[in-house]
Amino acid sequence: MDDRPLAGIKVVELAMWVAGPSTVAVLTDWGADAIKLEDPNGGDPIRGATTRAMNHPGLRVRPPYELDNRNKRSVAVDLRKADGLEFALRIIDRADVFVTSLRLDALARMQLTYDHLAARNPRLIYASLNGYGHRGPDRNRPAYDYAASWARSGLMATIREPGFPPPAQRPAMIDHAVGLGLAGAISAALFARDRTGKGREVRISLFSMGLWMNATDLTVGLMTGKSPASESRTERINPLWSSYACKDGKWVYFVMIQSDRFWAEFSAALGHPEWRSDPRFADAQARAQNCAAMTAAIDEAVATRTCAEWAQIFDRHELVWAPVNTNDEVLADPQAHAIGAFAQVDHPDFLGARVVNNPVEFGDTAARPHRAAPELGAHTEEVALEVGLTWDEIARLKESGAIG
């Protein structure tokens, strides 16, 4: 018996790249059975995506595709053909959840809007995500998270150091936040359906998630008329909430938000108890007014030891801090392994394949390996038989190019 909370829930995905597929990956982690609808002519574009990091001579898979398409079944169907679209609708008619990241005009053109599908399947939870939201002048504007979530939301400008170019983001960072958020919303809608018997539409956008991630600063702007601007290290209101370089060149980040509370232990840990009697650093207000001097003093102190040497000292004094880890260091972090952050994938072509788990876990549900992401169209015939097509009908659809 599958004890995962969404066991028995059927999901159909019509989405590409990361945000939509990651939503469904999370749902499958929680037990749902997912079918991914893909164009027979190449499928999800992320199947062919390459980056410098993937230029590895022994690599036999596409890691981003494996990450966000684990546990799914792939159906290759051409929705531009009438009989292909009708086949897809038969699959959606049997679903509990439909997840799409197609632009709104495309969904309307194919009659795959909520109104169209709910008329056929009133219990359907229809989850739609796009770039800039479902209303307004940019509702059909194309987007990736780098543009809609990172740049336009204010995040990129807010965290850059003054005088420096906007910082780069790594691929799909906010896409995955969108996916997890939408998976949670779908779960809430399924819970509501148990009480009402009716489906509903659930919406999210890359832009709205960027705004939500930037909500603390934006809310200051809403209430005061002026949002916080980016700050340099020497201008911050709290120099105990900043980054510093160790002797070995590795950076650490202090997060003593309540700086007066930590001041005695902090100054002792860094070997400078005399700071406590220095009037420039006497309290949080004084340290803010003398941030440049305080930052310079901490810079000088932290540079005397390596990060490993400081780690024991900082922990002994119970400071709130963390090393600024590289990805390779994260992959070796024992705490990441202790919480099950990296999960095994039962992959036929890659022994030892692993992906990052979604961060939600259920305490009464045992961890299990993921199934490998499917080959394009690997389950087309299987699903066709499930929805009642005969072998003759399947052959006709193949001959017409409606399925692959």
The type of residue at 255 is V
Q: How far apart are CA 242 and CA 255, in angstroms?
A: 7
pLDDT at 58 over 80: no
Neighbouring C-beta atoms of residue 11, cutoff 10 Å:
23
Residues 335 and 178: their CA atoms lie apart, in Å, by 25
Residue in 231, 16, 255 with CA at minimum distance from that of residue 143: 16
- What is the location of CATH 3.40.50.10540 in the chain? 10-214+339-400
Q: Once rounded to an integer, what is the mean pLDDT over residues 325-330?
A: 96
Is the CB of residue 278 less than 8 Å from the CB of residue 326?
A: no
- CA–CA gap between residue 158 and residue 283 (Å, rounded): 27
Asked which of 114-118, 237-241, 270-274, 345-349 is least confident by mean pLDDT, the reply is 345-349
Phi, psi for residue 401 in degrees, rounded to 5: 85, 10
Query: Which part of the chain is CATH 3.30.1540.10?
Result: 241-325
Give the residue-averaged pLDDT of 251-269.
97
Q: What is the pLDDT of residues 247-259, one digit of tens each?
A: 999 999 999 999 9
Please give the single-letter amino acid code of residue 352: G
Q: Name residue, tokens 């066709």.
A: 384
> How far apart (Å, rounded) are the C-alpha atoms in residues 38 and 76?
5
How many Å apart are CA 76 and CA 73, to the nearest integer? 10
| Two tokens, residue 141 | 């504007």
First to last CA, the chain: 33
What's the CATH class of domain 241-325? alpha beta
The whole-angstrom separation of Cα 380 and Cα 386 is 10
Q: Considering only CA atoms, which of 306, 293, 330 is closest in space to residue 314?
A: 306
Which residues, 6 or more positions from 235, have their beta carbon under 8 angstroms from its beta carbon? 162, 291, 292
Task: Note the pLDDT of residue 55.
Answer: 56
Q: Are 84 and 78 in contact (CB under 8 A)?
A: yes
* pLDDT tens readout for residues 17-51: 999 999 999 999 999 999 999 999 999 999 987 65
Threshold 0.75, pTM exceeds: yes
- Ranges 114-128, 174-188, 195-209, 358-372: which has the least confidence: 358-372
Q: What is the pLDDT of residue 54?
A: 55
Q: Which CATH superfamily is domain 10-214+339-400 in?
A: Crotonobetainyl-coa:carnitine coa-transferase; domain 1 (3.40.50.10540)
In percent, how much of the chain has pLDDT > 70? Answer: 97
227/221 Cα distance (integer angstroms):
4
Question: Which residue type occupies 141?
Answer: R
Phi and psi (nearest 5°) for 38?
-135, 150
pLDDT score of 12 more than 60: yes
pLDDT at 161 over 90: no
61 or 353: which leads in pLDDT: 353
β-pair partners for 271: none
Express each pLDDT in 197-246 by its tens digit.
999 999 999 999 999 999 999 999 999 999 988 888 998 899 999 999 99
Secondary element (H or E) of residue 188: helix 173-196
CA-CA distance, 360 to 180, in Å (whole number)?
A: 9
List C-alpha distances in Å: 49 to 61, 302, 370, 379. 11, 42, 22, 22
Considering the chain, what is the average pLDDT of its residues?
Answer: 95
Contact 255, 239 (CB under 8 A): no
Contacts of 212 (CB under 8 A, 6+ apart): none
Confidence band of 365 (pLDDT split at 50, 70, 90):
confident
Residue 369 three-state SS: coil
Count helices and strands in the chain by DSSP H and E runs: 18, 12
Residue 56 predicted with pLDDT over 80: no
SS3 214: coil
DSSP string for residues in 48-73:
G---GGG--TT--S-HHHHHHSTTEE
- List the single range of 10-24, 56-70, 86-100, 149-163 with lowest mean pLDDT: 56-70
Give yes or no for a contact between 128 and 114, defined as CB atoms under 8 angstroms apart. Answer: yes
pLDDT score, position 333: 97
Type of residue found at 157:
A
Res. 53 pLDDT band, cuts 50 70 90: low
* Coil, helix or strand at residue 170: coil
Q: Look at residue 62 and tell me whether its pLDDT is greater than 90.
A: no
Alpha helices (H) along 252-317 = 259-269, 284-289, 291-302, 307-316
